Every structure is written in C-alpha cells, then in structure tokens.
Structure 1
Amino acid sequence: MSDTGEKKPASHPYVGLWVTKDRSVRHELLPDNRYVEARGNRERAYLGRYEVTGTHIEYWDDTGFTADGDFRDDILYHGGMVLHRER
C-alpha cells in the first residue's frame, strides 16, 4: 500500500487469467495483487492476495492457506497444475 492508503498496482507482466487445459481451474491475477481462483462451477472458490518476485508467485488465501508457483515460457506451474494464459 502507498502512503495514501491506496494499493499499489502489480508491477509484473502476469496480470490476467490463467487456465488449465480443460478450464477446470482458473486463476485471475488482478492488478491490485489480489487473485480469484475458480474450480469447476465454483467461480469464487478461493480468494486472496499474491506477490510475484521475478518469475515466482506466492499466494496467501484469505482463509490462511498458502501456495506458490513459477512462470516459465508463459506457462504457470502451480501445485502440480499447468495453467496457460487466456488471451
């Protein structure tokens, strides 16, 4: 957050929607460093914040769960899943 209380926008190129090949898992990385994860028919299955350092992403779910992943060649590898950017 900035000194004025405003959230700083994400400063990385990964903002947007990332999906598994079958679209059963969808991660939307928002510009305010928040994310929404959809699973199957549950559009807001998980909500939380994230931080990207280089090509590594750390997730903190609002319930306290943590996870991480890595971006390689415009693919997100996260928790045994492979997610591709949705254009």
Structure 2
Amino acid sequence: MTGNPEQGDVDVVGMWRTADGHIRQELRADGRYEEARGSRSRAYTGRYTVTGSHIDYVDDSGFTATGDIRDGVLFHEHLVLHREEKQA
C-alpha cells in the first residue's frame, strides 16, 4: 500500500529525479518502485509503503531503505530527488 492521503499520508506516486537526472525513481500506485541509474533501467525494483511523509522501501533483493518527503522534496538515503512534472 502506498499510503492514504485522506489519513495524512503524502501522495508520492510519480517519477522522481536527482537534479542531474542520473537517478530516476518511479513510485507506482500499486506500491511498487523502479529505480534507473544512468542508462541502466530497472537498476533496483521493489515495494514501498508510506506513513505520513516517511517512505519505507524493500528491494526485491532484500535490502531496505528509507526516505522522507520534506517541502515536496524526496530525501532517499543520501539522494535528493524532485518530482517530475506530470504531462498533461
């Protein structure tokens, strides 16, 4: 589950990118994520859950990570990602 905005959980669904675009993380509505690094698509895949503005990740290989949304910015471990504008 990706979280429930009606209960105060932040909506995180969409594409998030580092400023240089090297790392791209797609957070899908089904609670799955795919992370691309450079030309390597799907470098990491797994599932995530949202509680408030906190994200817990569990990669398909078993490792875990966390992130937090502050002022519309995703701080994921040592990365700083910004949401990509949705195309109309």
The TM-score range, normalised by the shorter chain, is: 0.7 to 0.9
Hey, what does 1:78 align to over in structure 2? 76
Segments of 5+ residues of structure 1 without an aligned counterpart are 1-7
Q: Under a length normalisation based on structure 2, what TM-score does the superposition of the two structures give?
A: 0.85
Segments ≥4 residues shifted beyond 4 Å: none
Counterpart code for 1:83:
L
Q: Under a length normalisation based on structure 1, what TM-score does the superposition of the two structures give?
A: 0.86
The 5 Å alignment of 1:1-87 reads 10-12=3-5, 13-87=11-85
Q: How many residues align?
A: 80
Larger Cα-atom Rg: 1
Q: What CA distance in whole angstroms lies between the structure 2 residues aligned with 1:63 and 1:39?
A: 17
Counterpart code for 1:15:
V
Q: What CA distance in whole angstroms lies between the structure 2 residues aligned with 1:14 and 1:75?
A: 10
Q: What CA distance in whole angstroms lies between the structure 1 residues aligned with 2:14 and 2:28?
A: 6
Q: What CA distance in whole angstroms lies between the structure 1 residues aligned with 2:41 and 2:15?
A: 13
Q: How big is the alpha-carbon RMSD for the aligned residues of Structure 1 and Structure 2?
A: 1.3
